[in-house]
Structure 1
Amino acid sequence: MKNLIVILILISSISAQYKKEFKDLIETTYLRTFDEKIVLKYLNSESEDSIKAALLTIANSNQTKFIENIINVDNDYLVEKSFALGKLDADSLSEKFLLENLNNVESDFNSQRIFFEALGNVISEEDLINLLNEKSDYYGLPFAVVNSVNQKSKIDKEIINSYLLNNLESTNEDLIFSSLYALYRIFPPNGSEEFFVNLLSKKIDDREIEIKTYTLGCLRRLKRFPIDKELFTNLLADKDWKIRTELARSAVFFRNFDNIFEPFLNLIVDENPNVSRQAAISLREIKPEFINESKIINLLKLDLPLNTFGELIISYSKLFPGKSEELIEEYKSKLARKFIFEIIDNINDAETRFDLLKKELAGSNSFDRIYLSQSLLKLEDQFRRDDEFAKIIISLLRESNAPVISIVADGISESFVSQNSSLLQELIIDHLFTKINDANFVESIQALYRLSKKVSPQFENQVSEIISTSKVSSIKQITSGNSIRENDLMFSKIFENSFKYSEAVILTNKGEFRFEFLNEIAPISVGNFCYLAEKKYFNGNKFHRVVPNFVIQTGDSTSTGWGGPGYDIISEFSWLPFETGYVGMASAGKDTEGSQWFVMHNYYPHLNNNYTVFGRLVKGQKTVDIIDENDVVFEVRLIEK
């Protein structure tokens, strides 16, 4: 608890301070007009809250004209200034300013992280390599490495790897963690297994869960696991489910896996459904000769969580594809349809797969066809010239089913497009005219636009012109790049709720959890969440996406992961971290947020600055940790200030 208090104090010291009386600043941010007169009024004020809020607005503007204004702000706001500079396009002025202030940034972890994440976005390859060669002990520097490598393809990986691996021998746990994270993101070099094995046996005080999970993650990237049964046994008995989850992912690369096969199965019957499900998924990575088939059959007789059961059958069919039809026949009544389609995918004979999918199509609903369309597209190479196959694909694309449109439009090959060009053009135009102003179809229209490029440059131009007429800003900006929200009527409804409530209590079938709103950081996201909660929008929503040791996600009334409220809101990127218990908005790209939101299982810095943080858990992490896919939100209760 002491560490948590310290973290909260540090974060609060670098928080922006939007307030209800800053309505004009919040509105110009929401409308994406970034009125210079309004922004500079706040930036040049004497108020700390005003300056921080203005810097956050500028960070979301993409407008480099503000760079000199940022630099001229007092260096008491160095961390906030660095964040804003890092979010704007790379600029020599920004790089020069940040390099000159390397030794002025506070030494706490979050200040270091924010500063160096920004530096990584603007630094040149030469200057980064110079910093690494100096063997700088800034424990935020690995964050700069990640952001820089993601943007620059020619950077010297040998120097980077040497720097990061050497950091793993440090006694500074913050430096170890940031270096592990960097290695995980850019992929650890071959032959570095020993560094990670040593870490697993090292005593860790404050960052044990994060360091162990990222260490196991790096071993998984290397497809290596130490031949050390005692180490495996100790990790298997670890009290933290997140470590057991990462063990389930990485231990499948244990050479001579048959030596640990039976104890590995304990993960499938783990009390935490996330560990259990992940272990069932990971089984399919193992070579069949290491598998005792009778042991898997015995597991199927147990009362496993439904998702674990489904994933276990998929793994069984993947390992023994000849059993797939038999498994479908025996367990069909217990399996969700999405699992059946994945089992069909494991059948070797393409004709048999196609016949089974056609049968499933006959009795399918719109939700089933999301998964069915993915399975059908895997058969395109074998049936590209088959008229029946083409008719089915075209019929799926013709549906007013947002996820199916997206999947099929992105999944069909240029060869298929060439053979069906006229019909596809007709379908694309029909969809555009009926869905051009529906925010629930943003991703579908993005996919249709990409499909138009496969048809011809002339048709792409025609589609681009139609998209530019949309009244939905996130659709309009697909081709125009213009994010200005003209005459948006939602602002007043959202803003009315931005500062009204302090917390939300989420009641689920697994228990309840509570999070506080960060309206001083993300007033639009908070206001939108509360507006929807007041309308009971979230009641009955499923957790449609649960990635073990990553996130739980809900907020989609269709439970497909593609639904929304029928409008979009803006992204509110900030310097807050996506640590355990933080609450964020899901999106399909900048300014496409709607109603879907997620809670973090663990710390994943790659989300920082790229998604909106709008809440922080204050109670119920244990409930969050046992939520499984398809668990249900019964009710969202808002707590007034």
Structure 2
Amino acid sequence: MIKGFLRNIFFFILIELLCLQSLFLAQYSRGDSALVNTTFEREFDKNILLGYLSSKEYPKVVAGLLSISHSADTTFVDQIIKLDFDTYGNYIAFALGQIGPSSVSIEFLLKELSLLNTSVVQKSIFDALGKIGNQQTLDTLIKNYLSNSIPNEDGISIALANFNVRGIQSTNRKELTVLKNEITTDPFYAEKTIEALYALYRIGPDESFKDDLINTLYLSDFHDKAVLIKQYSLGSLRKIKYFPNDFSLLKELLRNNDWRIRTEAVKVACFYNFTNEDELSFFLSLLKDENPNVARQCAISLRSLSLNNDLKTFLKNDITDRLENSGTYTSNTAGELFISFTSLFPTEIFVAVQKYEKRIKPKYFYTAFSENSVNPERNLDYLLNKNLNASLPDKIEILNALLSLQTHLPANIILQESILGFIASHSAPLISIASEGIDSILIDLNKDKIKEIILSQIHTHLNESNYSESIISLALLANKTDRQFYQALLSELEKSELYSIKKWIMNERGIKVHLEKPSIKFDEIWQNAFRYNGVRIITNKGNFEIQFAPEVSPISVGNFCYLASRNFFDNLIFHRVVPNFVIQTGDPDGTGWGGSGYEIVSECSPIEFDEGNVGMASSGKDTESSQWFVMHNKFPHLNGRYSNFGRITSGQNIVNIIDQDDYIISTQLLQ
């Protein structure tokens, strides 16, 4: 009997491994030009796609499912669910979850969920239901879970997280009951615990989870899942603004060998009740951490500290000394330290600006002013004076600071004219930020002028892809200004040649319009899709290498190689670095708003975003261009929402020490 049981366990594990392996088998190949082209052109030719689904070849069926998953066309559902679920379960569930809500899809997935599937397939089903299910679906899943009527519950937490992203929650927060059941310190159930802690972090715990979360922090670092378990637990503690009065635990976390744990620890340390200078000094020592991202995060966390008067005086003197010696810190750590100083001691801002003006990057001064309201008139004068000769990245920070002054200076004509001037500028990010940040008082006082600016900007930039977000921001501003004017404006926007704008109009009006093809030719992308195995990224911090995944993202890979072969990425900065999340680059403007001048289709796949995965940045579906990011860690909310086109094969240690404004020297495509 025992032998039979062990044999069944072995068979089950074997099936699990085969399912995992199937996720990485070749799907797209060089022979799939017509299939990829119909995806690239956003035509989704049914004859081609259904031909792939009817193929008896596993890679072709999967390639067809991947292409259909990009289509947002639920008329494919009937054909998808006819496929053999035992063979294609992962990709069937993925495709159904990607193309959008359908009662047929939901019913089909719920039926499959009631069967005994492998964990890998079951997770795919839960993931899909979380993406397309409705309130009734969520209630059904929770009810069945609590009544133990689901044969395999692996993945329930991911479903709950996906529902939450879409704003769907159960009454009385029953999700939390499910998640509490899923969290355990038993190593055998580590994966389930990680998923539950991640979902809890996204949904937000209540105080009943305190003990559960604290218990996970005592896990040995030899536990192979300790980093993920601890990071999500620390994130959840941060959500409830709590850390226990246990300095030995905090100290252990702050000196953890893994920089990612130290990063999460400094984020939550601001909720610890520091009682003496020694404790606070130990925390401040992280400002000199060997990893620049930990040091920068420590500087950011300082502004959230709540201290007694004596410790606050100690901290003021300590930060002052550090700013005096700011040259011994990275420029970003010094800058964040300055912002924290002026946040904790707001009346000191102008003295601090004058004292450290030559030591701190200007953008940090402007960010500090956006959080300071001690003397708004003086702030306005300073910001407008600095705006005259500021770089574009600095102008963005100045604009954000000016927008924050609207509450304090509602009738100030100079402030109003300056904000309107940003909307009338020829800078895409400035147009968007000002259009979205302008308040209702300023709009009411300047309606005619705003409408005139909107019409002029749309006439000038209607077909420029780098302005697509700006055009949409202007349209939304038009809606706030005059509803009738907005409706007339939509008719003008229909004339745009940009896919992203036309798609936005479709969603806004609920109608279909003719969608333009991408401006870049397919052949230029396709000839590069399978040409190179990877790329070496040479940075000022060192090198890292990416292995491409054209089998799931041929357009993204081909686009990257097309740009890299033209030295597009040379000398571009990493304009966005979020410690223990991502590093991001690929913007020629260095602001996060620039691109290649054209957009490509999204290529989401079942490949998860884990440490070292490389994805295309976007502002929405099918708006990818040239910006890309590398993961520091596992964050499932990106799965199925961004194109995952490669993975770091060497140099993750370099990725982990790249700081904001570090830069790419050159790229070398590898065959």
The TM-score with structure 1 as length reference comes to 0.95
Structure 2 residue corresponding to 1:94, chosen from 93, 105, 128: 105
2: distance between equivalents of 1:309 and 1:12?
46
Deviations 1:186-239 (A, max 9, x none): 001133211101111134622111111111001000100011111011112210
2: distance between equivalents of 1:359 and 1:321?
21
Matches within 5 A, 1:451-530: 451-481=477-507, 482=513, 484-486=515-517, 488-530=519-561
Match of residue 60 from structure 1: 70
Structure 2 residue identity aligned to 1:280: A
Match of residue 251 from structure 1: 269
Deviations 1:543-593 (A, max 9, x none): 000000000000011101100011111111111111000000000111111
Q: Which moved more, 1:479-488 or 1:568-577?
A: 479-488
Structure 2 residue identity aligned to 1:64: T
Structure 2 residue corresponding to 1:590, chosen from 596, 599, 621: 621
2: distance between equivalents of 1:483 and 1:549?
42
**8 Å contact from structure 1 (residues 164, 179) kept in 2:** yes
Match of residue 209 from structure 2: 192
2: distance between equivalents of 1:235 and 1:332?
35
Deviations 1:513-564 (A, max 9, x none): 0011110101110000000001100000000000000000000111011000
2: distance between equivalents of 1:240 and 1:10?
31
2: distance between equivalents of 1:55 and 1:148?
23
Q: Is structure 2 residue 156 aligned with structure 1 residue 131?
A: no
Structure 1 residue identity aligned to 2:157: P
Structure 2 residue identity aligned to 1:93: V
Match of residue 353 from structure 1: 379
1: distance between equivalents of 2:500 and 2:38?
17
Match of residue 311 from structure 1: 336
**8 Å contact from structure 2 (residues 42, 517) kept in 1:** no
Structure 2 residue identity aligned to 1:304: Y
State the 1:11 CA deviation: 4.9
Match of residue 296 from structure 1: 319
Deviations 1:456-510 (A, max 9, x none): 1221122211211111211222213458333744212111111111101100000
Match of residue 3 from structure 1: none
Structure 1 residue identity aligned to 2:629: F
Structure 1 residue identity aligned to 2:145: L
Match of residue 663 from structure 2: 632
Change (3 A) 1:583 1:472: same
State the 1:92 CA deviation: 2.5
Q: Which moved more, 1:25-34 or 1:238-247?
A: 25-34
2: distance between equivalents of 1:469 and 1:12?
47
**8 Å contact from structure 2 (residues 572, 587) kept in 1:** yes
Match of residue 145 from structure 1: 160
2: distance between equivalents of 1:17 and 1:354?
57
2: distance between equivalents of 1:80 and 1:623?
34
Change (3 A) 1:105 1:19: farther
2: distance between equivalents of 1:8 and 1:429?
58
2: distance between equivalents of 1:473 and 1:34?
15
**8 Å contact from structure 1 (residues 325, 344) kept in 2:** no
| Secondary structure of the corresponding residue to residue 90 of structure 2 | helix
Structure 2 residue identity aligned to 1:98: L
**8 Å contact from structure 1 (residues 565, 595) kept in 2:** yes
| Secondary structure of the corresponding residue to residue 208 of structure 2 | coil
Q: Is structure 2 residue 265 aligned with structure 1 residue 265?
A: no
Deviations 1:317-374 (A, max 9, x none): 1101121111111111122221011222325111121121122123323332111111
State the 1:9 CA deviation: 8.0
Change (3 A) 1:593 1:166: same
**8 Å contact from structure 1 (residues 78, 105) kept in 2:** no
Structure 1 residue identity aligned to 2:368: I
State the 1:382 CA deviation: 2.6
Match of residue 45 from structure 2: 35
Change (3 A) 1:501 1:12: farther
Structure 2 residue identity aligned to 1:13: S
| Secondary structure of the corresponding residue to residue 616 of structure 1 | strand
State the 1:146 CA deviation: 1.3
Q: Which moved more, 1:126-135 or 1:313-322?
A: 126-135
Match of residue 344 from structure 1: 369
Matches within 5 A, 1:329-340: 329-340=354-365
Q: Is structure 2 residue 36 aligned with structure 1 residue 26?
A: yes
State the 1:107 CA deviation: 3.6
Change (3 A) 1:487 1:575: closer
Structure 2 residue identity aligned to 1:480: M
Q: Is structure 2 residue 175 aligned with structure 1 residue 160?
A: yes
Q: Which moved more, 1:284-293 or 1:47-56?
A: 284-293
**8 Å contact from structure 1 (residues 27, 491) kept in 2:** yes
State the 1:93 CA deviation: 1.9
Q: Which moved more, 1:272-281 or 1:84-93?
A: 84-93
2: distance between equivalents of 1:566 and 1:487?
11
1: distance between equivalents of 2:123 and 2:294?
30
Deviations 1:574-627 (A, max 9, x none): 111110000000001111110000000000001111111001111100000000
Match of residue 436 from structure 1: 462
Alignment gaps of 5+ in structure 1: 1-5
| Secondary structure of the corresponding residue to residue 333 of structure 1 | coil
Change (3 A) 1:9 1:405: farther
2: distance between equivalents of 1:541 and 1:113?
39
Structure 2 residue corresponding to 1:178, chosen from 195, 201, 204: 195
1: distance between equivalents of 2:482 and 2:116?
52
Structure 2 residue corresponding to 1:234, chosen from 249, 252, 255: 252
State the 1:91 CA deviation: 2.1
Q: Which moved more, 1:113-122 or 1:59-68?
A: 113-122
1: distance between equivalents of 2:272 and 2:249?
11
**8 Å contact from structure 2 (residues 538, 666) kept in 1:** yes
Q: Which moved more, 1:400-409 or 1:113-122?
A: 113-122
Change (3 A) 1:466 1:12: farther
Q: Is structure 2 residue 431 aligned with structure 1 residue 420?
A: no
2: distance between equivalents of 1:31 and 1:219?
46
Q: Is structure 2 residue 598 aligned with structure 1 residue 567?
A: yes
| Secondary structure of the corresponding residue to residue 646 of structure 2 | strand
1: distance between equivalents of 2:167 and 2:144?
16
Matches within 5 A, 1:402-413: 402-413=428-439
2: distance between equivalents of 1:90 and 1:477?
18
Q: Which moved more, 1:553-562 or 1:84-93?
A: 84-93
Q: Which moved more, 1:166-175 or 1:527-536?
A: 166-175
2: distance between equivalents of 1:80 and 1:608?
14
**8 Å contact from structure 2 (residues 518, 600) kept in 1:** no
Change (3 A) 1:336 1:152: closer
State the 1:160 CA deviation: 1.5
2: distance between equivalents of 1:20 and 1:634?
31
Change (3 A) 1:19 1:371: same
2: distance between equivalents of 1:99 and 1:347?
54
Structure 2 residue corresponding to 1:397, chosen from 420, 423, 436: 423
Change (3 A) 1:592 1:228: same
Give the aligned length.
Answer: 634
Deviations 1:271-310 (A, max 9, x none): 0000000000000001253432222223232500110000
State the 1:152 CA deviation: 5.3
